[in-house]
Chains A and B, each alone.
Chain A
Amino acid sequence: MSTFLDSLGGWLLVVLVGAPLLAAAVLLAVGDRVRDRAAAETGTAVAAGTLLVAALAAVGAAPYDRPGTGLSVDVAWIPALGVRFHLGLDGLGAPLVLLTALLTLLVCWHLVRVRPVAGRVRGLVACILTVESGALATFTAQDLLLFFVAFEVVLVPMWFVVALWGDDTQAPRVGEPSTPLPGGENARRDAANRFVLYTALGSAVMLLGLVLVALRTGTTDLAALAYAGGAGMSTTTQTIAATLIVLGLAVKAPMFPLHTWLPPAHTIAPTAGSELLAGVLLTMGTYGLVRVAVPVVPDGVRAIAPFLGALGVAGILWGGLACLVERDLKRLVAFSSVAHMGFVLLGVASMTPQGLQGALFANVAHGLITGLLFLVVGGLKDRRHTADLEGLGSGLRDRLPRLGWLLAFGAVAGLGLPGLAGFWGELLAIVGAWNGEGALGPLARPLAVLAAFGTALAAAYLLRVLFLVWHGPNGRSAAPAGPAALFAPVTVGDATTHEVAVAAPLVVATVVLGLLPWLLLDVTAPIVRVLLAGVGS
């Protein structure tokens, strides 16, 4: 098996990145003759194949306890800029490659039975597959500028997903039927534009930092840059580069206070879009921090680490407080994403092995748990055209037990209950921050304490949701009246077997990673040691 994979070598990675892109191009080219169901099934088949290739590549790249990438392909691309088409898979990228491939498969499979509120499925599947290709390229790119190009690939298709397939129908909230919420094409366009403008600006700023690194070191090879550990750049240069790169990535991560694009985009996006945003795009931002910021300009990152850590903790607290009062369930999950990413940022800022490990773990856990939550909440919103917490969640376990249980599971996992995946990342990030005096200075312990308080906030807001789901009045007696009746539920039934089957892999993965965290920690530990070697703490 291993020799077979070795003979395939890096071309497996080219297939991994190229296959979804090619399938997307074909889907776009065939025109509207393809029916929705067939398009979704094609997407599912391609995504399943990609997941298989990803699994093969992950096996082929093993073992992960040696430096360098197990699989790689390396071709000259733009010699004038020193850019190579260099893809490689190592312990840092492998978990995220698998997560991306899995989420894409689930999203496509979900579309086989559940149609989006607006638009044709063919284009949506093409966009999803393009996003997958860009994300996989980002997680395997071993060249600074190739990483940037791959990072940018997801922008336009994701913009289309929000702007064209967004769910803009907004029923009035329970209790205030007279005030219609902003909706319609403008709401979609607004959310999509905000997403793309924030991210494009962030990317442009990041590009300046990447170009500075490439000019001063004379190479764009990520392995060489990590090996040099910032050698050849003065501390000032490193600080400028780190500020630019981190600012750019922080928009996508997102870091407080640059997160304001995220709630509208998550809320408007169709279920598939929210899942990809949460599980793939956000992880790209934090992955970038670990891949192109910490090892490449370690002194620079150390210089700005206190700010990064403080803003991460601010995100944890802000997200938690917002969730305490948020009435829209989708926005609530979006704000909890901001809080989750705060832990990741804190872990990165600590620049300790535990912190970085925690950040990577929390990244994957976030993808699984928030992916599940958006699946459930999206399913609820599709049924009622509203995501109002009290209208939807109240007494959910009574009315729709399957969705109720799934939502409860997602909420419990999201608050970081020990035994589930969300726990380990947050724990390690807090431990890393506690030990992170090297980078965080005197702020290390206060930040760790505040972050721990953030977990209590998470418990509070998610228990609020759970309470409503479990004990709230089930609202059977109160039929919707007034404008709400316009949005009479399309399907009021409980989750179908199909929907449960789509959610099941996420639930299983959350439990498995919660009980057997070393499955992931053992993969990331060696690469984290390599990345932090240049830090010399």
Chain B
Amino acid sequence: MSAQTPLHAGITGVQAVDPLALAPAIATLVTIVVLVLVDAVAPAAARLRRVHDVVALTGLGVAGVFVAVLGVTASGRDLGPFAGAAVRSTVCVPGGGFVLPSCSFVVSPLTLTLQAVVVVGAIVCLLLALDGPGARDRSVHHLLLLATVTGALVLAGSRDLAILVVAFETASLPVIGLVALRRDAQGAQGAVTLLLTAVASLGLLLVGVAMLLLATGSLHLDRIAAAVGDPTLPDSVRVVAVAGTLLAVAGIAFKLSVVPFHLWTPDTYAGAPLPVAAFLSVVSKAAGLAAVVVLLGVGLPALGDAWSPAVAVLAALTLTVGNLVALRQTVAVRLLAWSTVAQAGWVVLPLGAVASGTPGDARQAVAASVGYLVAYGVASLLAFSVVVLLARHHPAGEDHTLEAYRGLARREPVAAGALGFALLCLAGLPPGLVGLVAKVVAVRPLVDAGVWWLAVVAAANVALGVAYYLRWTALLVVRPTATPPTWRVRPAEGIALGMSLALCVAFSVLPQVVAGLVPTALR
């Protein structure tokens, strides 16, 4: 295939739009419009607060139903619900001669899995936020959240560089507003830190994408994959492509909190309302991983020998720094922030084993990364659900230390059990089997490819993680020093806690959900 596909093909070609393929994103967009209308009709009516909540939740629910429907239609020929090949593609430009058409948006098992994580994470975070300090201004909060979700949903299916960049920014910039909604000095500081990081990263991402376009002459990832996979590619062009890849990865990495692009994480988590921190740690991270795996796994597997060692070094750094700093934390949300940094290392770890550059390796690594993300996502949501509840009942609020959990098991056995389970899932120890299997899944590609130094670093980090997760778990069951009031759990929080607990338990009993995310082909 020629690397010289004319640029204007994407503009002049016939564009067929398949509404069902875009249905989840359309659902959230429509919800945004409805929210704006509701706000316009009755801007300050207290009675309508619940209407905002119901509209936003319904929108996310409908998006989730569409993801499920697309997943079920995909399962016709293959085993698992997400095991099929690509289901639908849309916004395509025709190929010429032997060139297949290239599509900007593809609904593949990869897309659907990432979208499922985004939707479930968003629903839980929204439920947690409803009564919190961040959602005093309902319409703004819900609008920003839904805008981010729309960006993340499109990002998961984007298969061309332009849509990827636009969707990535749509999934990044509204979050800054969400962080600022706490409206105090700490919140403002968190928002500014995130804003500066996001803007600087945008620059890197744009330069990287431009260099990829320059080197390959195409915006479509399948054509880029063919161009960089071409053995006749001159070295001078290859250098530009590799540089572009690394710059683009650096531009995306902040969203995953990968060291050394993680510096915003602790301040922003501590400054944001807690449900927004949960949102950052699950939905935002899923969007970041979507961008990474779409760009590297779908578009650039052939350059694996260049980007995979770089990702390996980043993963080792992220794991080690995140865990070492987390060891010293005493404030709950800061510990969670550093633990999500370490977990980001686990998420990108498998991508450090694609140095051979074969599509099979890339597929295995991407499946492992996404599988780990699913496990991490549900465990993280569960942990945050309990932390949000405790923060509402503790005098120190969202800045409470781990001491606040002393003896929690005696007063709130269910919540303490849920938190203990979530922490053990994150640590990867039984009974948190979902975390244990996810770690097996994550190190498999490394062992297969023989990247032993990274595998050993990962093994050492298991022990580091166990140290602080167990320290927290132990506090739950020791004798309490004081007896604070019992909790009054609101229905929304109860549903959020129940949902994430049910998912954690279900995935622990059936870890196939995490281990079996191996699409037949990366599309």
Contacts and interface: CB of A to CB of B under 8 A. Distances in A.
Interface of A: 31-32, 77-81, 123, 134, 145, 149, 152-153, 155-156, 159-160, 163-164, 189, 193, 196-197, 200-201, 203-205, 207-208, 211-212, 215, 240
A32 B459 CA distance: 38
Contacts of B515: 78, 80-81
Contact of A156 (B410, B430, B440, B460): B430
A303 B372 CA distance: 35
B477 A200 contact: no
Interface string B455-491: 1101110110011001001100110000000000000
Contacts of B260: none
Nearest to A248: B459
B441 interface: yes
14 contacts: A32-B410, A80-B515, A123-B477, A152-B430, A155-B429, A155-B430, A156-B473, A164-B478, A197-B467, A203-B462, A204-B459, A207-B443, A215-B444, A215-B448
Given A134-B430, A155-B429, A159-B470, A79 B512 contact: yes
B354 interface: no
Contacts of B512: 77-80
A208 B461 CA distance: 13
Q: 10 tightest A-B contacts by CB? A: A204-B459, A80-B516, A201-B463, A204-B462, A80-B515, A153-B430, A200-B466, A200-B463, A211-B447, A212-B447
B511 interface: yes
Interface string B387-413: 000000000000000000000001001
A208 B459 CA distance: 8
B247 interface: no
Interface in B184-229: none
Contact of B444 (A163, A200, A203, A211): A211
B437 interface: yes
B474 A163 contact: yes
B518 interface: yes
B440 A211 contact: yes
Contacts, number: 90
B433 interface: yes
B430 A197 contact: no
Nearest to A159: B470
A196 B470 contact: yes
Contacts of B447: 208, 211-212, 215
B459 A207 contact: yes
Contacts of B444: 81, 211, 215
Given A31-B413, A204-B460, A208-B455, 5 more contacts: A149-B436, A164-B474, A193-B470, A201-B463, A208-B456
Contact of B463 (A78, A197, A212): A197
Contacts of A153: 430-431
B342 interface: no
B424 interface: yes
Interface residues of B, number: 37
A212 B456 CA distance: 13
A79 B516 contact: yes
Nearest to A155: B429
A149 B518 CA distance: 22
B463 to A, nearest CB: 4
B466 A197 contact: yes
Counting chain A CB atoms within 10 Å of each CB, which of B447, B473, B511, B516 scores highest? Answer: B447
B440 A81 contact: yes
A78 B509 CA distance: 10
Contacts of A134: 430
B372 to A, nearest CB: 13
A77 B474 CA distance: 31
Contacts of B456: 205, 208
Contacts of A212: 447
Nearest to B516: A80
A163 B431 CA distance: 18
Contacts of B511: 77-78
A200 B462 contact: yes
Contacts of A197: 463, 466-467
A160 B459 contact: no
Interface in B208-259: none
A159 B471 CA distance: 11
B441 A81 contact: yes
Contacts of B460: 201, 204
A145 to B, nearest CB: 7
Nearest to A213: B447
Nearest to A240: B452
A156 B448 contact: no
A6 B160 CA distance: 61
Contact of B429 (A32, A152, A205): A152
A156 B459 contact: no
Given A123-B477, A134-B430, A156 B436 contact: no
Interface string B417-437: 000000010000111010011
Given A163-B474, A196-B470, A207-B440, A201 B459 contact: yes
Contacts of A193: 467, 470
Given A78-B512, A79-B516, A205-B459, A156 B478 contact: no
A83 to B, nearest CB: 8
A159 B429 CA distance: 12
Contacts of A149: 430, 433, 436
A72 B513 CA distance: 26
Nearest to A153: B430
A160 B473 CA distance: 10
Nearest to A237: B450
A20 to B, nearest CB: 14
A302 to B, nearest CB: 22
A203 B458 CA distance: 12
Nearest to B83: A80
A207 B474 CA distance: 25
Contacts of A81: 437, 440-441, 444, 515
Nearest to B367: A80
Contacts of A31: 413
Interface in B16-54: none
Residue of A80, A152, A211 contacting most chain B CB atoms (<10 Å)? A80
A79 B83 CA distance: 13
Interface centre among A31, A152, A189, A240 (most CB of B within 10 A): A152
For B433, B448, B470, B512, the residue with the greatest tally of chain A CB atoms inside 10 Å of its CB is: B470
Contacts of A32: 410
A189 B472 CA distance: 12
Nearest to B477: A164
A247 to B, nearest CB: 10
A32 B413 CA distance: 11
A121 to B, nearest CB: 14
A152 B436 contact: yes
A79 B518 CA distance: 12
A123 B443 CA distance: 34
A123 B473 CA distance: 15
A212 B459 CA distance: 14
Nearest to A206: B459
Which of A79, A159, A204 has the largest number of chain B CB atoms within 10 A? A204
A212 B445 CA distance: 10
A77 B477 CA distance: 32
A424 to B, nearest CB: 35
Given A32-B410, A78-B512, A159-B470, A204 B463 contact: yes
B110 to A, nearest CB: 15
Nearest to A79: B512
Contacts of B478: 164
Nearest to B509: A77
Contacts of A196: 466, 470
Contacts of B463: 197, 200-201, 204
Contacts of B436: 149, 152
A82 B473 CA distance: 32
A240 B444 CA distance: 15
A212 B429 CA distance: 20
A156 B424 contact: yes
